[in-house]
Every structure is written in structure tokens, then in C-alpha cells.
Amino acid sequence: MPKNHKFDSDIDEILKQIGTLRRSLGGIFRENDSAPKITTFVEQSGKLIAELQLARETVSPIRFGPIGITLGRSDSIAKFFAFSFVNTPKKKLGELSLFPFFGSGVYALYYHGKSERAYQPLCATETPIYVGKADPKDSHAETVENQGPAIFKRLMEHAKNIGKTTLDLEDFSYRSAAIQTGMQSSVEEFMIRLFRPIWNKEVKICFGIGKHGDSSKTRANKRSPWDTMHPGRHWAASTSKNQMERGEIEARIADHFKENPTIKNKDDLYQMLSLE
């Protein structure tokens, strides 16, 4: 391959300018009151750093990039956890009561039934219908025994609520994982951002499964979309009005799946995690 003299010349010139820039940076920490110039420097240096990074990655014979997971960032720990979480087998929610377990952390519910038409896009996919967390009974717990059966109790509560409706528990499965005390919120937030589950209140579509019932003083509250879609909880039945009518909820769910396609398999999920 012939030698590219212009490329070599350009690199030599850039290296000279880098040397000049380094020498100039030697005095940057001297006291300086010129706020407008400091602002300009911050803006222009940021752009230059980005351009240098791109050039460095383009010309380097060895491919490299920023570390994707660092233990100094809670979001990175959450990503690391998500890789492990989604590789665990799903278990039947209807058989949960047969296998109690200790641990606090996060969990996900999956729908794979045929009865609820609005949820059909979720069937046989890696997209959960709900993601939640369960806090430990001891905020300093270092073992799953000390954490108590937090996830198990939360899942049992969901199973009980689902069982009161026309939904079939056999149409649901779950994943769960006990994690280090104090990390459950960060992991849950990451998982909700990743999956956009339609039963989570953050997605603002079919929320309400986590409600525990209105007191007699607040029965004027409007019925949650989840209770509108899945009537059966007696205290929700005594609520007078819906927050959203079923037709609107179903339309929002359909629009949601158009904008947020379900994750068909683990390969697609791993690809999404690597890009997060």
C-alpha cells in the first residue's frame, strides 16, 4: 500500500497543535475573572474533545471505546444486573405459593395468555407487563434471610389481585432476583426505562395494580385504569368514576406498542442492553 504523505503531514500538524495546546493549558488554573471567556472555553473545549475522540477512534488500528459498565455508577450496575436477570428462567405465577423464598430486590411479571386482546403483543416476548421492587424489612440487611421474604410477599399480593379478576393466573409468569440492599430502586428505574411496561404508573397507561384500596373518606377518588380494565376488587367497584374509560385505555395500549415495539427474544434484548 503506497504511503499517504498528506495523511502523515496532517497528523504531524495536529500533533504540533496538541503540543501547543498542552503548553497553553499549563496556565489555565491561574486566577481569571473573565467569565465570558471561561464560558466560551468550556463550550469550545467540549466540542474539541468530542472531535478528538472521534478522530482517535477512527485512525486507531485497535478498536476501543468507553467502558459500558462501571461500579461507580448505579445505572451501570443496573445494566449489569439486567443482563443476569433476563437470563434466568421465568416461573409460573400461579405456582408461586408453593415455593416461598427470602430476598428483597426486583421482579417482573409477564403475560402470555390469549384472553386479553389488548395484551396480545406481549405474548411470547421478553417484554414484561409490569416491573416492581420490594424493599427489605431491614434497611441494612446483608443476607437474603435478613432481607426477609419481601419479593415473595409482593408477588403474592399481585397474584391475589389478579386472581380477583377475570384474568387467569395461568397466563402469567415472573422473574425475580434478590439484590444488594439499597440497589433495588436504581435497578427498578433502569428496568422500567428499558421495558416501558404498560402496568407501571410511570408509563401512564394501565396503572393501578399496586393500589391497596381507598379509605372510606376517599371513595370519591376515580377508579384506576387497571381496575377499569380488570374489575374484581370490591373497594374499586365502590368507586364512582373511571380515570379513563376502557376504550381509551385500549387505544393508548395499542399506540404504546406502535411506539415501543415488544422485545421478541433474548438476542434482541441483549442488543438493546448493549446500546443503552
CATH of domain 74-265: 3.40.1440.10
pLDDT score recorded for residue 70: 46
Q: Which three cell numbers stand for residue 103?
A: 430476598
64, three cell numbers: 476501543
Measure the CA–CA gap between 217 and 259, rounded to whole angstroms: 39
Model pLDDT, residue 214 = 56
* DSSP symbol at 200: S
Q: What is the DSSP string of 76-98?
A: HHHHHHHHHHTTSPPEEGGGGGG
Name the residue ranges covered by the structural domains of the chain. Answer: 74-265
pTM metric for this prediction? 0.72
Nearest to 101 by CA among 147, 157, 160: 147
Please name the residue that has the C-alpha cell 368514576. 241
Q: What is the pLDDT along the chain (276 residues), one digit of tens a residue?
A: 456 778 888 888 888 888 888 888 776 655 555 666 777 777 777 778 877 877 776 776 654 444 444 445 566 777 777 777 888 899 999 999 999 999 999 999 999 999 999 999 999 999 999 999 999 989 998 899 999 999 999 999 999 999 999 999 999 999 999 988 888 898 899 899 999 999 999 999 999 998 866 554 554 578 999 999 999 998 888 887 999 999 999 999 999 999 999 999 888 887 777 766
